Structure 1
Amino acid sequence: MSMEQVAAALTHKIAPGVRNRILILDVERLPGITQQSWWDRGDLKNRYVHHETVTREPRTTIVCAKWYDSGEVIRLAEWDKGGRGAFLKRVHRLVSEADILVGHNVDNADVPWLKGDFYLPRIGHSHRPKLPVLPEPKTVDTLKVLRRQFKSGAPFKGLDAFCQVVGIPSKTDRYDRDAMERAVAGSVEDRQRLTDYCEGDVIATQWLYDWQRPHIKNHPALFVDGQNKLDTCRACGHETKPIAKRYVADVMTYTMQRCVECGWHGRLSLEPERMSIVRGV
């Protein structure tokens, strides 16, 4: 049995009838460069980077993405035909079409980095972006799910490490800062390698997303054709069934549902039962 077959038994796919456009995303960046004055190496510890000392800001150079229900990975890079301006327009259009963005640390890294690239010029590059405000999609941050649900119970929360721990396909390479410098300078070999690496991260992220689906408590609602919305699992779009257990809040209890496919649990915010009129002070 192949690793993919083993991993498929550990994961849960979204129902075929789901109409949300779900985009799995990963970006790679070129690091910034700054000038510093110092008398001793200790002076550089925790040194604040002043704007006037920056000779090059970090910027996004590669974006790989995949629609959840597609087998093709979209590969976009700053050195593609049309240069940085065309690259950012393609990425902006792609993100604007998504209902849900999925990524590992997407909320604190990929999304804010892309917003900066869409609207702000970068020191060290001549391009000046003029893109419209993005119709911002909902996000599922797979790193936040691990932190919130497992905390110290999962000591290794990096994409590569966690995928290896649970036995699903993981990253295929490592980021190489020097290779990125060479790629921006024109190295075809390094451009291919780094884009392949970014693509591998997208594929690994989708595996992780499918693995952790029953643990995603706040997944954005999924739209499924031909089904009762009250019976639809928010995490995968399959059918849910009532269970005997009730969800207990401060003064109310709610009927609970369990997904027949992924095992996700949710409460039905319909006709709750009041258990108390007293709240804690």
Structure 2
Amino acid sequence: MIQHIPLEKILFLDIETVPGSGSWDELSEAEQKLWDKKTRFQRKEDVTAEEFYDRAGIMAEFGKIICITIGMVEKNETLKIKSFSGHDEKKLLQEFGEIFNSPRLNNVILCAHNGKEFDFPWIARRYLINGIQPPVPFQMFGKKPWEIPHIDTMELWKFGDYKSFVSLELLAHVFGIPTPKDDIDGSMVSSIYYIEKDLQRIVDYCEKDVLTLANVFRRMRQEDLLKRNINLD
């Protein structure tokens, strides 16, 4: 029962990702060929590899992380939030990894929406690509499924139905939680980053998603909504 999980042991997180380069022309010839091969069977016949490049932000081999936001619940029912963001992905990952040196995060339980298919593997892959060992909670090799305590709110909502996908926005709506999509949505992140060059707007969006994620989990436990507080120590 998820009601038995100590709330203070859960690390709620969300990431924002973009294509590794701002445009197709910035890719090397080798990268363009590899992208073409990678996406050949995902594209419609009339869509070229170049036209499909705006999807690179969802593939860890061709994208990069520009923001990781985390949140943890304090005893006073407040969600403390901290964001790691920037243009230097390696530095961002190093700073994020340092939080796991804290005794408080021993045996931490990660929680994300669609985290098992996206956030958790994405983070681990980008660590390796940047030449860094992933933090312990993201090292899953050799572990049996029941030895990995991570929580995925989309998986919880499926109740064993593997045909279904549900967005965090939809779950927020059905649970009566204020929607995080009051400014931008995921499809706009790349253009806001590369064209508008407004990283802070993306960070704000990511932080709203983490608060919504935590409150969706709370609703699944039949608990009241959390308040938000910035600057998690």
| TM-score, normalised via structure 1 length | 0.52
Q: CA deviation at 1:171?
A: 1.5
CA distance in 1, matches of 2:189, 2:160: 36
Q: Percent identity?
A: 21
CA distance in 2, matches of 1:101, 1:179: 24
CA distance in 2, matches of 1:62, 1:25: 10
Q: Partner residue of 2:99?
A: 94
Q: Partner residue of 2:17?
A: 29
Q: Which has the higher helix share?
A: 2
- Contact kept, 8 Å, 1:102 with 1:141, in 2: the verdict is yes
Q: Partner residue of 2:200?
A: 192
Please provide the CA RMSD for this pair.
3.9
- Point out the structure with max Rg over C-alpha: 1
Q: Partner residue of 1:117?
A: 126
Residue 118 of structure 2: SS of its match in structure 1?
A: helix
1:71 matched to 2:98: no
* Pick aligned residue for 2:132 from 130, 144, 166: 130
- Contact kept, 8 Å, 1:118 with 1:131, in 2: the verdict is yes
Residue 105 of structure 1: SS of its match in structure 2?
A: coil
Q: CA deviation at 1:30?
A: 0.6
- Contact kept, 8 Å, 2:114 with 2:153, in 1: the verdict is yes
CA distance in 2, matches of 1:213, 1:195: 27
* Pick aligned residue for 1:42 from 41, 45, 68: 45
Q: CA deviation at 1:20?
A: 5.0
How do residues 52-71 of structure 1 correspond to structure 2 at under 5 angstroms? 57-69=62-74, 70-71=78-79
- Contact kept, 8 Å, 2:15 with 2:69, in 1: the verdict is yes
Paired residues, number: 180
CA distance in 2, matches of 1:60, 1:166: 29
- Contact kept, 8 Å, 2:79 with 2:211, in 1: the verdict is no
Q: CA deviation at 1:169?
A: 2.4
1:103 matched to 2:112: yes
| TM-score, normalised via structure 2 length | 0.62
Q: Partner residue of 2:144?
A: none
- Mark the CA change 1:65 to 1:132 in structure 2 (over 3 Å): closer, same or farther: closer
Residue type at the aligned position of 1:175: D
CA distance in 1, matches of 2:16, 2:48: 26
Residue type at the aligned position of 2:136: L
Q: Which has the higher strand share?
A: 1
- Mark the CA change 1:196 to 1:19 in structure 2 (over 3 Å): closer, same or farther: closer
Residue 185 of structure 2: SS of its match in structure 1?
A: coil
- Contact kept, 8 Å, 1:169 with 1:207, in 2: the verdict is no
Structure 2: gaps spanning 5 or more residues: 25-31, 53-58, 139-147, 225-233
Q: CA deviation at 1:192?
A: 1.4
- Mark the CA change 1:176 to 1:205 in structure 2 (over 3 Å): closer, same or farther: closer
Residue type at the aligned position of 1:146: W
* Pick aligned residue for 1:143 from 134, 154, 162: 154
- Contact kept, 8 Å, 1:105 with 1:144, in 2: the verdict is yes
Q: CA deviation at 1:25?
A: 0.3
